[in-house]
Amino acid sequence: MGNTKASSDPFRPQHEPHRTIYDAFVAEAQKRPCRALEVWIQAELDSVYQAALGSFPKSGLPAPTREQVAAAERYARGSADYGATWACTLVNDMRRAAQQKAMV
């Protein structure tokens, strides 16, 4: 089956940059048990933001602001596939931003 991480997580996106964003969230979320609520929320936002800064330019997407990362996270809240929804929302938002910029 190849990649155990991919086969053990049905929500993990298959394509970049979605996967990089999702993996950053999952890696940070695993540290939740030993952190206070406010700490892990901020750490996850920071981790996703840093992952986006590193992966979006490679995909031709503009870098998001911290507020755009937070807005995508708020949209994903309550989803069964929270991490995947967060990643997909952020990527789709930045794709729309790139398209709007190209039209100007």
- With H, G, I as helix, E, B as strand and everything else as coil, classify residue 82: helix
Residue 85 to residue 5: CA distance in whole angstroms: 18
pLDDT band at 103 (very low <50, low <70, confident <90, very high): confident
Mean per-residue pLDDT, 95-103: 90
Q: For residue 75, which amino acid is it?
A: Y
Mean per-residue pLDDT, 71-89: 97
> How does pLDDT run across 1-14, given as a tens digit for each residue?
455 555 689 999 99
Q: How many CA atoms lie within 13 A of 43 on its CB side?
A: 15
Contact between 64 and 93 under an 8 Å Cβ cutoff? The reply is yes
Find the angle CA(15)-CA(59)-CA(71) to the nearest 5 degrees. Answer: 80
